[in-house]
Structure 1
Protein backbone atom coordinates (compact mmCIF):
# COMPACT_ATOMS: atom_id res chain seq x y z
CA UNK A 1 0.00 0.00 0.00
CA UNK A 2 1.15 3.51 -0.70
CA UNK A 3 -0.13 6.49 1.27
CA UNK A 4 -3.12 8.14 -0.40
CA UNK A 5 -3.66 11.83 -0.64
CA UNK A 6 -6.24 13.53 1.51
CA UNK A 7 -9.50 14.18 -0.20
CA UNK A 8 -9.49 11.11 -2.45
CA UNK A 9 -13.25 11.00 -3.14
CA UNK A 10 -13.94 11.29 -6.90
CA UNK A 11 -16.42 13.88 -8.14
CA UNK A 12 -20.02 12.72 -8.16
CA UNK A 13 -19.56 10.05 -5.51
CA UNK A 14 -22.41 9.88 -3.05
CA UNK A 15 -20.94 10.08 0.41
CA UNK A 16 -22.27 10.74 3.86
CA UNK A 17 -20.86 13.54 5.94
CA UNK A 18 -20.19 13.09 9.62
CA UNK A 19 -22.92 14.63 11.73
CA UNK A 20 -22.31 18.34 12.13
CA UNK A 21 -19.74 18.51 9.30
CA UNK A 22 -21.95 18.81 6.26
CA UNK A 23 -20.56 22.16 5.17
CA UNK A 24 -17.53 24.32 5.74
CA UNK A 25 -19.67 26.69 7.78
CA UNK A 26 -20.87 23.84 10.01
CA UNK A 27 -17.26 22.90 10.68
CA UNK A 28 -16.90 26.19 12.56
CA UNK A 29 -19.88 25.24 14.69
CA UNK A 30 -20.08 25.04 18.49
CA UNK A 31 -18.21 21.72 18.71
CA UNK A 32 -15.08 23.05 16.99
CA UNK A 33 -15.18 26.32 18.94
CA UNK A 34 -15.68 24.45 22.22
CA UNK A 35 -12.74 22.14 21.43
CA UNK A 36 -10.45 25.10 20.70
CA UNK A 37 -11.51 26.92 23.87
CA UNK A 38 -11.09 23.78 25.98
CA UNK A 39 -7.62 23.18 24.55
CA UNK A 40 -6.63 26.77 25.30
CA UNK A 41 -7.97 26.47 28.86
CA UNK A 42 -6.06 23.23 29.45
CA UNK A 43 -2.84 24.79 28.20
CA UNK A 44 -3.34 27.85 30.43
CA UNK A 45 -4.11 25.69 33.46
CA UNK A 46 -1.06 23.52 32.90
CA UNK A 47 1.26 26.51 32.46
CA UNK A 48 -0.07 28.12 35.66
CA UNK A 49 0.42 24.82 37.53
CA UNK A 50 3.98 24.57 36.20
CA UNK A 51 4.73 28.09 37.44
CA UNK A 52 3.26 27.24 40.84
CA UNK A 53 5.46 24.14 40.93
CA UNK A 54 8.51 26.33 40.46
CA UNK A 55 7.50 28.55 43.36
CA UNK A 56 6.59 25.72 45.75
CA UNK A 57 9.33 23.21 44.97
CA UNK A 58 11.96 25.81 44.07
CA UNK A 59 12.81 23.78 41.02
CA UNK A 60 11.43 24.55 37.55
CA UNK A 61 9.01 22.08 36.01
CA UNK A 62 10.71 20.39 32.99
CA UNK A 63 10.17 22.41 29.85
CA UNK A 64 9.80 19.31 27.69
CA UNK A 65 6.79 18.27 29.77
CA UNK A 66 5.12 21.60 29.08
CA UNK A 67 5.94 21.32 25.38
CA UNK A 68 4.40 17.83 25.31
CA UNK A 69 1.19 19.11 26.91
CA UNK A 70 0.89 22.05 24.53
CA UNK A 71 1.52 19.70 21.59
CA UNK A 72 -1.14 17.25 22.74
CA UNK A 73 -3.74 19.96 23.24
CA UNK A 74 -2.88 21.46 19.85
CA UNK A 75 -3.31 18.08 18.14
CA UNK A 76 -6.74 17.66 19.72
CA UNK A 77 -7.75 21.15 18.59
CA UNK A 78 -6.50 20.50 15.05
CA UNK A 79 -8.30 17.13 14.89
CA UNK A 80 -11.62 18.81 15.73
CA UNK A 81 -11.04 21.92 13.63
CA UNK A 82 -12.09 22.67 10.04
CA UNK A 83 -8.60 21.65 8.92
CA UNK A 84 -9.83 18.05 8.95
CA UNK A 85 -13.60 18.38 9.26
CA UNK A 86 -14.28 20.74 6.34
CA UNK A 87 -14.53 18.06 3.59
CA UNK A 88 -17.86 16.25 3.85
CA UNK A 89 -17.73 12.47 3.88
CA UNK A 90 -14.00 12.26 3.22
CA UNK A 91 -12.95 8.98 4.86
CA UNK A 92 -9.24 9.86 4.65
CA UNK A 93 -9.59 13.07 6.62
CA UNK A 94 -11.73 11.35 9.21
CA UNK A 95 -9.10 8.63 9.57
CA UNK A 96 -6.39 11.24 10.15
CA UNK A 97 -8.70 12.84 12.70
CA UNK A 98 -9.03 9.53 14.54
CA UNK A 99 -5.26 8.94 14.45
CA UNK A 100 -4.65 12.34 16.03
CA UNK A 101 -7.31 11.87 18.70
CA UNK A 102 -6.65 8.22 19.47
CA UNK A 103 -2.87 7.84 19.15
CA UNK A 104 -0.71 10.93 18.72
CA UNK A 105 -2.44 13.45 20.99
CA UNK A 106 -2.83 10.97 23.88
CA UNK A 107 0.87 10.07 23.79
CA UNK A 108 1.89 13.73 23.95
CA UNK A 109 -0.54 14.39 26.81
CA UNK A 110 0.69 11.37 28.77
CA UNK A 111 4.35 12.37 28.38
CA UNK A 112 3.48 15.71 29.95
CA UNK A 113 2.94 13.88 33.30
CA UNK A 114 -0.11 15.97 34.30
CA UNK A 115 -0.93 13.76 37.30
CA UNK A 116 2.55 14.20 38.77
CA UNK A 117 2.26 17.95 38.32
CA UNK A 118 -1.15 17.93 39.99
CA UNK A 119 0.14 15.95 42.98
CA UNK A 120 2.98 18.42 43.47
CA UNK A 121 0.96 21.64 43.38
CA UNK A 122 -2.43 20.74 44.82
CA UNK A 123 -3.70 20.49 48.39
CA UNK A 124 -3.26 17.45 50.68
CA UNK A 125 -6.97 16.72 50.41
CA UNK A 126 -6.83 16.44 46.64
CA UNK A 127 -3.72 14.28 46.89
CA UNK A 128 -5.55 11.91 49.22
CA UNK A 129 -8.44 11.65 46.76
CA UNK A 130 -6.09 10.97 43.84
CA UNK A 131 -4.20 8.37 45.88
CA UNK A 132 -7.48 6.67 46.77
CA UNK A 133 -8.58 6.56 43.14
CA UNK A 134 -5.27 5.09 42.01
CA UNK A 135 -5.48 2.47 44.75
CA UNK A 136 -8.98 1.34 43.70
CA UNK A 137 -9.22 -2.13 42.18
CA UNK A 138 -11.23 -1.01 39.10
CA UNK A 139 -8.38 1.37 38.26
CA UNK A 140 -5.91 -1.51 38.60
CA UNK A 141 -7.91 -3.50 36.06
CA UNK A 142 -8.42 -0.61 33.65
CA UNK A 143 -4.80 0.49 33.80
CA UNK A 144 -3.38 -2.94 32.97
CA UNK A 145 -1.82 -2.79 29.48
CA UNK A 146 -3.94 -5.72 28.23
CA UNK A 147 -7.20 -4.04 29.26
CA UNK A 148 -6.07 -0.72 27.84
CA UNK A 149 -5.08 -2.39 24.55
CA UNK A 150 -8.47 -4.10 24.24
CA UNK A 151 -10.29 -0.80 24.77
CA UNK A 152 -7.94 1.02 22.41
CA UNK A 153 -7.91 -1.38 19.47
CA UNK A 154 -11.42 -2.64 20.16
CA UNK A 155 -12.82 0.85 19.72
CA UNK A 156 -11.24 1.08 16.26
CA UNK A 157 -12.62 -2.34 15.31
CA UNK A 158 -16.10 -1.43 16.54
CA UNK A 159 -16.10 1.79 14.54
CA UNK A 160 -15.03 0.35 11.20
CA UNK A 161 -16.40 -3.21 11.33
CA UNK A 162 -19.87 -2.50 12.70
CA UNK A 163 -22.68 -0.05 11.80
CA UNK A 164 -21.29 2.37 14.40
CA UNK A 165 -19.50 4.44 11.74
CA UNK A 166 -22.76 4.87 9.81
CA UNK A 167 -24.50 5.86 13.05
CA UNK A 168 -21.96 8.64 13.61
CA UNK A 169 -22.92 10.10 10.24
CA UNK A 170 -26.49 10.52 11.47
CA UNK A 171 -26.09 11.23 15.17
CA UNK A 172 -24.04 14.09 16.57
CA UNK A 173 -24.15 12.46 20.02
CA UNK A 174 -22.66 9.22 18.67
CA UNK A 175 -20.03 11.21 16.79
CA UNK A 176 -18.94 13.03 19.95
CA UNK A 177 -19.03 9.80 21.98
CA UNK A 178 -16.68 8.10 19.52
CA UNK A 179 -14.23 11.00 19.71
CA UNK A 180 -14.31 10.94 23.52
CA UNK A 181 -13.71 7.19 23.54
CA UNK A 182 -10.80 7.44 21.11
CA UNK A 183 -9.10 10.14 23.20
CA UNK A 184 -9.76 8.45 26.55
CA UNK A 185 -8.80 4.94 25.39
CA UNK A 186 -5.69 6.26 23.65
CA UNK A 187 -4.64 8.13 26.80
CA UNK A 188 -5.24 5.05 28.96
CA UNK A 189 -3.19 2.89 26.58
CA UNK A 190 -0.25 5.31 26.48
CA UNK A 191 -0.39 5.81 30.26
CA UNK A 192 -0.43 2.06 30.94
CA UNK A 193 2.58 1.46 28.69
CA UNK A 194 4.82 4.50 28.94
CA UNK A 195 3.36 7.14 31.21
CA UNK A 196 5.77 8.89 33.60
CA UNK A 197 2.83 9.38 35.98
CA UNK A 198 2.30 6.79 38.73
CA UNK A 199 0.33 3.75 37.57
CA UNK A 200 -0.87 1.05 39.97
CA UNK A 201 0.82 -2.33 39.55
CA UNK A 202 2.30 -1.49 36.17
CA UNK A 203 3.97 -4.65 34.77
CA UNK A 204 7.57 -4.81 33.60
CA UNK A 205 8.97 -3.39 30.40
CA UNK A 206 9.03 -6.77 28.61
CA UNK A 207 5.30 -7.32 29.24
CA UNK A 208 4.44 -3.83 28.05
CA UNK A 209 6.47 -4.21 24.86
CA UNK A 210 4.75 -7.53 24.10
CA UNK A 211 1.34 -5.89 24.55
CA UNK A 212 2.42 -3.01 22.30
CA UNK A 213 3.57 -5.39 19.54
CA UNK A 214 0.33 -7.40 19.72
CA UNK A 215 -1.82 -4.27 19.74
CA UNK A 216 0.15 -2.87 16.80
CA UNK A 217 -0.34 -6.11 14.89
CA UNK A 218 -4.09 -6.04 15.54
CA UNK A 219 -4.26 -2.41 14.41
CA UNK A 220 -2.38 -3.23 11.21
CA UNK A 221 -4.63 -6.25 10.56
CA UNK A 222 -7.70 -4.01 10.87
CA UNK A 223 -6.20 -1.59 8.37
CA UNK A 224 -5.51 -4.41 5.89
CA UNK A 225 -9.04 -5.76 6.36
CA UNK A 226 -10.49 -2.33 5.69
CA UNK A 227 -8.33 -2.00 2.59
CA UNK A 228 -9.22 -5.47 1.29
CA UNK A 229 -12.96 -4.91 1.74
CA UNK A 230 -13.14 -1.25 0.84
CA UNK A 231 -16.31 -1.91 -1.17
CA UNK A 232 -18.19 -3.12 1.93
CA UNK A 233 -16.57 -1.39 4.89
CA UNK A 234 -17.46 0.46 7.02
CA UNK A 235 -20.93 -1.20 7.06
CA UNK A 236 -23.71 1.15 6.11
CA UNK A 237 -21.46 4.04 5.09
CA UNK A 238 -21.53 5.18 1.46
CA UNK A 239 -17.94 5.82 0.40
CA UNK A 240 -16.11 5.20 -2.84
CA UNK A 241 -13.81 2.16 -2.52
CA UNK A 242 -10.81 4.28 -3.46
CA UNK A 243 -11.56 6.69 -0.63
CA UNK A 244 -11.82 3.85 1.89
CA UNK A 245 -8.54 2.37 0.59
CA UNK A 246 -6.82 5.72 1.11
CA UNK A 247 -8.24 5.86 4.65
CA UNK A 248 -6.94 2.35 5.33
CA UNK A 249 -3.49 3.42 4.18
CA UNK A 250 -3.52 6.31 6.64
CA UNK A 251 -4.60 3.90 9.36
CA UNK A 252 -1.81 1.45 8.50
CA UNK A 253 1.12 3.82 8.13
CA UNK A 254 -0.05 6.40 10.65
CA UNK A 255 -0.55 3.65 13.20
CA UNK A 256 3.00 2.44 12.58
CA UNK A 257 4.40 5.91 13.27
CA UNK A 258 2.41 6.28 16.50
CA UNK A 259 3.39 2.81 17.72
CA UNK A 260 7.09 3.43 17.04
CA UNK A 261 6.88 6.66 19.04
CA UNK A 262 5.16 4.79 21.87
CA UNK A 263 7.84 2.08 21.81
CA UNK A 264 10.52 4.76 22.03
CA UNK A 265 8.73 6.23 25.05
CA UNK A 266 8.58 2.80 26.75
CA UNK A 267 12.27 2.15 26.14
CA UNK A 268 13.23 5.66 27.22
CA UNK A 269 11.42 5.13 30.53
CA UNK A 270 13.20 1.81 30.97
CA UNK A 271 16.56 3.47 30.25
CA UNK A 272 15.92 6.27 32.75
CA UNK A 273 14.91 3.76 35.41
CA UNK A 274 18.13 1.82 34.79
CA UNK A 275 20.17 5.01 35.04
CA UNK A 276 18.58 5.81 38.40
CA UNK A 277 19.29 2.31 39.68
CA UNK A 278 22.93 2.63 38.65
CA UNK A 279 23.43 6.16 39.92
CA UNK A 280 25.56 4.96 42.86
CA UNK A 281 23.11 5.87 45.61
CA UNK A 282 23.48 2.47 47.28
CA UNK A 283 19.77 1.77 46.79
CA UNK A 284 17.68 0.27 44.07
CA UNK A 285 14.10 1.11 43.21
CA UNK A 286 11.83 -1.89 43.62
CA UNK A 287 8.50 -0.35 42.76
CA UNK A 288 6.21 2.64 43.10
CA UNK A 289 3.82 3.22 45.97
CA UNK A 290 0.97 5.72 45.94
CA UNK A 291 -0.04 7.18 49.28
CA UNK A 292 -2.71 9.70 50.13
CA UNK A 293 -0.12 12.44 50.41
CA UNK A 294 2.54 11.73 47.86
CA UNK A 295 3.98 9.28 45.37
CA UNK A 296 7.06 7.58 46.76
CA UNK A 297 9.44 4.85 45.63
CA UNK A 298 10.08 1.78 47.73
CA UNK A 299 13.79 1.20 48.04
CA UNK A 300 15.81 -1.78 49.17
CA UNK A 301 19.42 -1.82 50.25
CA UNK A 302 21.95 -2.79 47.66
CA UNK A 303 22.65 -6.53 47.54
CA UNK A 304 26.25 -6.01 48.59
CA UNK A 305 26.74 -4.64 52.09
CA UNK A 306 29.97 -3.46 53.60
CA UNK A 307 31.43 -5.41 56.50
CA UNK A 308 34.62 -5.00 58.42
CA UNK A 309 37.62 -7.19 57.55
CA UNK A 310 37.45 -10.55 59.23
CA UNK A 311 33.80 -10.21 60.17
CA UNK A 312 31.89 -13.45 59.72
CA UNK A 313 29.56 -13.71 56.77
CA UNK A 314 25.90 -13.73 57.74
CA UNK A 315 23.43 -16.21 56.40
Structure 2
Protein backbone atom coordinates (compact mmCIF):
# COMPACT_ATOMS: atom_id res chain seq x y z
CA UNK A 1 0.00 0.00 0.00
CA UNK A 2 1.33 3.43 -0.91
CA UNK A 3 2.37 5.70 1.94
CA UNK A 4 3.17 9.36 2.37
CA UNK A 5 6.80 10.38 2.11
CA UNK A 6 6.40 12.59 5.19
CA UNK A 7 5.63 11.23 8.68
CA UNK A 8 2.40 12.12 10.44
CA UNK A 9 3.97 14.97 12.42
CA UNK A 10 4.75 16.73 9.12
CA UNK A 11 1.43 15.85 7.45
CA UNK A 12 -1.05 17.78 9.56
CA UNK A 13 -3.19 20.69 8.44
CA UNK A 14 -3.82 23.67 10.76
CA UNK A 15 -5.88 22.85 13.84
CA UNK A 16 -6.03 19.06 13.51
CA UNK A 17 -2.99 16.88 14.27
CA UNK A 18 -2.66 13.73 12.20
CA UNK A 19 -3.65 10.80 14.44
CA UNK A 20 -1.37 7.99 15.54
CA UNK A 21 2.36 7.79 16.11
CA UNK A 22 3.77 11.13 14.90
CA UNK A 23 6.74 9.33 13.36
CA UNK A 24 4.75 6.79 11.33
CA UNK A 25 4.21 7.22 7.60
CA UNK A 26 0.43 7.29 6.94
CA UNK A 27 -0.94 5.07 4.19
CA UNK A 28 -3.42 6.28 1.60
CA UNK A 29 -6.58 5.19 3.46
CA UNK A 30 -5.45 7.08 6.57
CA UNK A 31 -4.93 10.22 4.52
CA UNK A 32 -8.41 10.01 2.97
CA UNK A 33 -10.01 9.55 6.42
CA UNK A 34 -8.01 12.46 7.82
CA UNK A 35 -9.02 14.82 5.01
CA UNK A 36 -12.70 13.89 5.38
CA UNK A 37 -12.58 14.64 9.10
CA UNK A 38 -10.75 17.89 8.45
CA UNK A 39 -13.34 19.05 5.91
CA UNK A 40 -16.17 18.21 8.32
CA UNK A 41 -14.61 20.49 10.98
CA UNK A 42 -14.17 23.50 8.72
CA UNK A 43 -16.49 26.48 9.05
CA UNK A 44 -16.61 26.82 5.27
CA UNK A 45 -19.12 26.54 2.46
CA UNK A 46 -17.81 23.45 0.69
CA UNK A 47 -19.65 22.69 -2.54
CA UNK A 48 -19.10 19.13 -3.74
CA UNK A 49 -20.14 18.02 -7.23
CA UNK A 50 -19.41 21.53 -8.48
CA UNK A 51 -16.67 20.87 -11.02
CA UNK A 52 -15.58 24.22 -12.38
CA UNK A 53 -15.68 24.43 -16.16
CA UNK A 54 -14.75 28.08 -16.82
CA UNK A 55 -13.28 31.06 -15.03
CA UNK A 56 -13.67 34.40 -16.80
CA UNK A 57 -12.67 37.96 -15.99
CA UNK A 58 -15.64 40.14 -15.08
CA UNK A 59 -14.62 43.76 -14.54
CA UNK A 60 -12.12 43.72 -11.70
CA UNK A 61 -13.31 40.31 -10.51
CA UNK A 62 -14.23 36.89 -11.89
CA UNK A 63 -17.22 34.82 -12.89
CA UNK A 64 -16.86 31.12 -12.12
CA UNK A 65 -19.12 28.56 -13.78
CA UNK A 66 -19.58 24.93 -12.75
CA UNK A 67 -20.70 22.01 -14.87
CA UNK A 68 -23.96 21.67 -12.93
CA UNK A 69 -25.01 25.18 -13.97
CA UNK A 70 -24.02 27.02 -10.79
CA UNK A 71 -22.39 30.41 -11.31
CA UNK A 72 -20.40 32.45 -8.79
CA UNK A 73 -18.97 35.96 -8.68
CA UNK A 74 -15.67 36.41 -6.88
CA UNK A 75 -13.19 39.25 -6.34
CA UNK A 76 -10.33 36.74 -6.48
CA UNK A 77 -9.83 33.12 -7.44
CA UNK A 78 -7.38 30.55 -6.08
CA UNK A 79 -6.92 27.52 -8.32
CA UNK A 80 -6.37 24.80 -5.73
CA UNK A 81 -6.79 21.76 -7.96
CA UNK A 82 -3.07 21.20 -7.49
CA UNK A 83 -0.45 19.64 -9.68
CA UNK A 84 -1.61 16.02 -9.43
CA UNK A 85 -5.03 16.09 -11.04
CA UNK A 86 -4.18 15.10 -14.61
CA UNK A 87 -2.16 11.87 -15.04
CA UNK A 88 0.64 12.24 -17.58
CA UNK A 89 1.12 9.32 -19.93
CA UNK A 90 3.91 9.91 -22.47
CA UNK A 91 3.41 8.92 -26.09
CA UNK A 92 5.71 5.97 -26.83
CA UNK A 93 6.20 4.18 -30.15
CA UNK A 94 3.69 1.37 -30.57
CA UNK A 95 1.91 1.99 -27.26
CA UNK A 96 -1.42 2.58 -28.97
CA UNK A 97 -1.26 -0.94 -30.40
CA UNK A 98 -0.18 -2.67 -27.18
CA UNK A 99 -2.44 -5.69 -26.70
CA UNK A 100 -2.04 -5.84 -22.92
CA UNK A 101 -3.31 -3.49 -20.23
CA UNK A 102 -1.98 0.07 -19.89
CA UNK A 103 -2.50 1.89 -16.58
CA UNK A 104 -1.29 5.02 -14.85
CA UNK A 105 -0.14 4.90 -11.24
CA UNK A 106 -3.27 6.94 -10.40
CA UNK A 107 -5.30 3.82 -11.24
CA UNK A 108 -3.17 1.39 -9.20
CA UNK A 109 -4.71 0.13 -5.98
CA UNK A 110 -3.38 -3.26 -4.82
CA UNK A 111 -0.95 -5.86 -6.22
CA UNK A 112 -3.28 -8.87 -6.10
CA UNK A 113 -4.95 -8.34 -9.53
CA UNK A 114 -1.50 -8.60 -11.14
CA UNK A 115 -0.56 -11.94 -9.58
CA UNK A 116 1.46 -14.10 -11.98
CA UNK A 117 1.69 -11.37 -14.61
CA UNK A 118 4.67 -9.85 -16.40
CA UNK A 119 4.53 -6.16 -15.50
CA UNK A 120 6.62 -3.19 -16.66
CA UNK A 121 6.54 -0.10 -14.45
CA UNK A 122 7.71 3.05 -16.23
CA UNK A 123 9.26 5.75 -14.08
CA UNK A 124 12.12 6.48 -11.71
CA UNK A 125 10.39 8.27 -8.84
CA UNK A 126 8.97 7.18 -5.50
CA UNK A 127 5.62 6.03 -6.89
CA UNK A 128 7.24 3.90 -9.58
CA UNK A 129 9.68 2.23 -7.23
CA UNK A 130 7.14 1.69 -4.44
CA UNK A 131 4.63 0.14 -6.82
CA UNK A 132 7.25 -2.05 -8.48
CA UNK A 133 8.64 -3.28 -5.15
CA UNK A 134 5.16 -4.12 -3.89
CA UNK A 135 4.20 -5.88 -7.13
CA UNK A 136 7.40 -7.93 -7.19
CA UNK A 137 6.02 -10.19 -4.44
CA UNK A 138 3.16 -11.17 -6.75
CA UNK A 139 4.44 -10.76 -10.31
CA UNK A 140 7.55 -10.57 -12.48
CA UNK A 141 8.34 -6.86 -12.58
CA UNK A 142 10.76 -4.57 -14.41
CA UNK A 143 11.26 -0.89 -13.68
CA UNK A 144 11.90 0.91 -16.98
CA UNK A 145 13.73 4.23 -16.65
CA UNK A 146 15.57 6.73 -18.82
CA UNK A 147 18.27 7.01 -16.14
CA UNK A 148 19.24 4.74 -13.28
CA UNK A 149 17.13 5.07 -10.15
CA UNK A 150 18.93 7.04 -7.47
CA UNK A 151 18.13 6.94 -3.77
CA UNK A 152 18.22 9.48 -0.96
CA UNK A 153 17.97 8.43 2.71
CA UNK A 154 14.55 9.00 4.22
CA UNK A 155 15.96 9.69 7.68
CA UNK A 156 19.43 11.26 7.43
CA UNK A 157 21.09 11.51 10.85
CA UNK A 158 18.03 9.83 12.35
CA UNK A 159 15.55 12.56 11.39
CA UNK A 160 13.10 12.53 8.49
CA UNK A 161 14.14 14.53 5.44
CA UNK A 162 11.11 16.79 5.94
CA UNK A 163 12.50 17.79 9.33
CA UNK A 164 15.70 19.00 7.70
CA UNK A 165 13.81 20.65 4.87
CA UNK A 166 11.60 22.55 7.31
CA UNK A 167 14.45 23.61 9.59
CA UNK A 168 14.99 27.34 9.32
CA UNK A 169 18.73 27.09 8.90
CA UNK A 170 18.29 25.09 5.70
CA UNK A 171 16.24 27.85 4.11
CA UNK A 172 17.47 30.64 1.94
CA UNK A 173 14.52 32.71 3.21
CA UNK A 174 11.64 32.21 5.60
CA UNK A 175 9.22 29.72 4.08
CA UNK A 176 11.60 28.72 1.30
CA UNK A 177 12.67 25.08 1.36
CA UNK A 178 15.00 25.53 -1.58
CA UNK A 179 18.50 25.36 -0.07
CA UNK A 180 20.24 23.08 0.13
CA UNK A 181 17.94 20.08 0.64
CA UNK A 182 15.38 21.29 -1.87
CA UNK A 183 17.82 21.53 -4.77
CA UNK A 184 19.35 18.17 -3.89
CA UNK A 185 15.89 16.62 -4.26
CA UNK A 186 15.13 18.49 -7.48
CA UNK A 187 18.14 17.44 -9.51
CA UNK A 188 17.77 16.25 -13.09
CA UNK A 189 17.07 14.04 -14.93
CA UNK A 190 14.99 12.65 -12.07
CA UNK A 191 14.65 13.37 -8.38
CA UNK A 192 16.05 10.62 -6.15
CA UNK A 193 13.74 8.14 -4.49
CA UNK A 194 13.41 8.98 -0.80
CA UNK A 195 13.64 5.57 0.82
CA UNK A 196 14.22 3.96 4.20
CA UNK A 197 16.14 1.16 2.46
CA UNK A 198 13.32 -1.25 1.63
CA UNK A 199 12.91 -0.32 -2.04
CA UNK A 200 16.64 -0.05 -2.62
CA UNK A 201 17.17 -3.53 -1.20
CA UNK A 202 14.42 -4.89 -3.46
CA UNK A 203 16.05 -3.45 -6.60
CA UNK A 204 19.52 -4.61 -5.56
CA UNK A 205 18.05 -8.10 -5.16
CA UNK A 206 16.55 -7.90 -8.66
CA UNK A 207 12.95 -7.99 -7.51
CA UNK A 208 12.04 -5.85 -9.36
CA UNK A 209 14.84 -5.64 -11.88
CA UNK A 210 15.77 -2.33 -13.48
CA UNK A 211 16.39 -1.60 -17.15
CA UNK A 212 16.79 1.40 -19.37
CA UNK A 213 13.58 2.45 -21.09
CA UNK A 214 12.29 0.20 -23.88
CA UNK A 215 12.47 1.64 -27.39
CA UNK A 216 9.06 0.57 -28.64
CA UNK A 217 6.20 -1.89 -28.25
CA UNK A 218 4.93 -4.39 -30.81
CA UNK A 219 1.75 -6.23 -29.88
CA UNK A 220 2.39 -7.36 -26.32
CA UNK A 221 6.19 -7.25 -26.62
CA UNK A 222 8.55 -4.58 -25.35
CA UNK A 223 11.83 -4.04 -27.20
CA UNK A 224 14.76 -2.95 -25.02
CA UNK A 225 17.83 -0.93 -25.94
CA UNK A 226 20.11 -3.97 -25.55
CA UNK A 227 18.16 -5.95 -28.14
CA UNK A 228 16.20 -8.08 -25.68
CA UNK A 229 12.46 -8.50 -26.04
CA UNK A 230 9.90 -9.34 -23.37
CA UNK A 231 6.23 -10.07 -23.53
CA UNK A 232 4.23 -8.06 -21.00
CA UNK A 233 0.73 -8.32 -19.62
CA UNK A 234 0.58 -4.84 -18.11
CA UNK A 235 2.45 -1.55 -18.41
CA UNK A 236 2.02 0.88 -15.52
CA UNK A 237 3.10 4.47 -16.10
CA UNK A 238 4.31 6.20 -12.94
CA UNK A 239 5.25 9.24 -14.97
CA UNK A 240 3.76 12.02 -12.93
CA UNK A 241 0.93 14.45 -13.37
CA UNK A 242 0.16 17.83 -14.85
CA UNK A 243 -1.97 20.62 -13.35
CA UNK A 244 -5.63 20.29 -14.28
CA UNK A 245 -6.46 23.96 -14.80
CA UNK A 246 -8.13 23.90 -18.20
CA UNK A 247 -10.94 26.01 -16.73
CA UNK A 248 -8.48 28.93 -16.95
CA UNK A 249 -8.22 28.67 -20.73
CA UNK A 250 -8.93 32.02 -22.30
CA UNK A 251 -7.87 34.08 -19.29
CA UNK A 252 -4.26 34.43 -20.37
CA UNK A 253 -3.17 32.61 -17.21
CA UNK A 254 -1.68 29.58 -18.98
CA UNK A 255 1.13 28.84 -21.38
CA UNK A 256 1.05 25.41 -23.02
CA UNK A 257 -1.45 24.40 -20.35
CA UNK A 258 0.86 25.33 -17.48
CA UNK A 259 0.17 28.16 -15.01
CA UNK A 260 2.21 31.31 -15.56
CA UNK A 261 2.92 32.06 -11.93
CA UNK A 262 5.54 33.08 -9.42
CA UNK A 263 5.32 31.75 -5.86
CA UNK A 264 1.64 30.95 -6.37
CA UNK A 265 0.56 34.28 -7.84
CA UNK A 266 -0.41 34.62 -11.49
CA UNK A 267 2.04 36.77 -13.40
CA UNK A 268 -0.54 37.63 -16.06
CA UNK A 269 -3.96 37.76 -14.35
CA UNK A 270 -4.38 40.05 -11.31
CA UNK A 271 -6.43 38.48 -8.53
CA UNK A 272 -5.58 34.90 -9.52
CA UNK A 273 -3.56 32.61 -7.27
CA UNK A 274 -2.68 28.93 -6.95
CA UNK A 275 -2.25 26.34 -4.22
CA UNK A 276 -0.74 22.87 -4.35
CA UNK A 277 1.51 23.18 -7.40
CA UNK A 278 4.79 21.27 -7.40
CA UNK A 279 7.66 23.57 -6.38
CA UNK A 280 5.25 26.49 -6.10
CA UNK A 281 7.47 28.05 -3.45
CA UNK A 282 9.49 25.19 -2.02
CA UNK A 283 10.21 21.48 -1.81
CA UNK A 284 7.09 20.87 0.32
CA UNK A 285 4.64 22.97 -1.72
CA UNK A 286 2.62 20.03 -3.05
CA UNK A 287 2.48 18.23 0.31
CA UNK A 288 0.16 18.48 3.31
CA UNK A 289 2.97 20.15 5.26
CA UNK A 290 3.73 22.75 2.66
CA UNK A 291 0.28 23.81 1.52
CA UNK A 292 -0.48 25.71 4.75
CA UNK A 293 2.34 28.21 4.32
CA UNK A 294 1.78 28.57 0.59
CA UNK A 295 -1.95 29.18 1.03
CA UNK A 296 -1.34 31.83 3.70
CA UNK A 297 1.19 33.56 1.46
CA UNK A 298 -1.14 33.61 -1.55
CA UNK A 299 -4.19 34.77 0.42
CA UNK A 300 -2.22 37.58 2.09
CA UNK A 301 -0.79 38.80 -1.21
CA UNK A 302 -4.15 38.65 -2.99
CA UNK A 303 -5.85 40.54 -0.15
CA UNK A 304 -3.38 43.41 -0.46
CA UNK A 305 -4.34 43.88 -4.10
CA UNK A 306 -8.08 44.16 -3.42
CA UNK A 307 -9.96 47.23 -2.32
CA UNK A 308 -12.08 46.93 0.86
CA UNK A 309 -15.19 46.75 -1.32
CA UNK A 310 -13.82 43.74 -3.18
CA UNK A 311 -12.83 41.90 0.00
CA UNK A 312 -16.00 39.87 0.19
CA UNK A 313 -16.82 36.19 -0.05
CA UNK A 314 -17.71 34.78 -3.42
CA UNK A 315 -21.44 35.07 -4.06
CA UNK A 316 -23.71 32.74 -6.05
CA UNK A 317 -25.39 34.47 -8.99
CA UNK A 318 -29.13 33.95 -9.36
TM-score range, shorter chain: under 0.3
TM-score (norm 1): 0.25
TM-score (norm 2): 0.25
More strand by share: 2
More helix by share: 1
Q: Which has the larger radius of gyration?
A: 1
